[in-house]
Amino acid sequence: MLITDCAINIDPDLTAKKQIIENAVALARGLGYQQPHVACIAALETVNPGMQDTLDAAVLSKMAQRGQIAGCIVDGPFALDNALSLESAKHKGLDSPMAGNADILLMSDIRMGNVLHKAITYIAKKPLATAIMGARQPVIMTSRSDSPQDKLLSLALGCLLCKD
């Protein structure tokens, strides 16, 4: 599973989120995904005019439906639980083929992305590889506190993506 922006874009606007999706899709395709499913993550799974993240998610979904974002399926907004769990989505009455089936989690901002990254690392104790996409070649920029295993995985990911 891929998670967007844990370290670079502080508070991306709609245009930046579209570019982040395109960069994440390029990474996913480099890893073998044919048509990755992108779930736009927000605090809740319904559009709320008072929450910009939910509005952005709805617009990004529509943009993908109309071919303005290619090579993937985009849907949202999703709360994290229903992007990862079909059971949770059903419990909340959310009917989407993306529910519980996300390949890429588009985090709404750096706060959300960074907290999830650290939770996976320190609470779930799972290894992570990181890469910054969007430059001519992937950029590997690990955290000072990353484990040696995470740093090695990140380097391996960068090598894998630099096939040219």
* 20 plus 87 within the same structural domain: yes
Q: What are the pLDDT tens digits along the chain (164 aa)?
A: 999 988 888 999 999 999 999 999 999 998 999 999 999 999 999 999 999 999 999 999 999 999 999 999 999 999 999 999 999 999 999 988 889 999 999 999 999 999 999 999 999 999 999 998 888 888 898 888 899 999 999 999 999 888 75
Contact 18, 34 (CB under 8 A): no
Range of the domain at 153: 127-164
Query: Taking the CA atoms of the chain, what radius of gyration do you get in angstroms?
Result: 15
Cα 97 from Cα 105, distance rounded (Å): 15
Give the number of domains in the chain.
2
Alpha-carbon span 31 to 34, nearest angstrom:
9
How many CB atoms are closer than 10 A to CB 92?
16
Answer yes or no: do 28 and 38 share one domain.
yes
Q: Is 93 helix (H, G, I), strand (E, B) or coil?
A: coil
Domain identity same for 41 and 121: yes
**Taking the model in full, what pTM does it have?**
0.94
CA angle 153, 74, 50 (to 5 degrees): 105
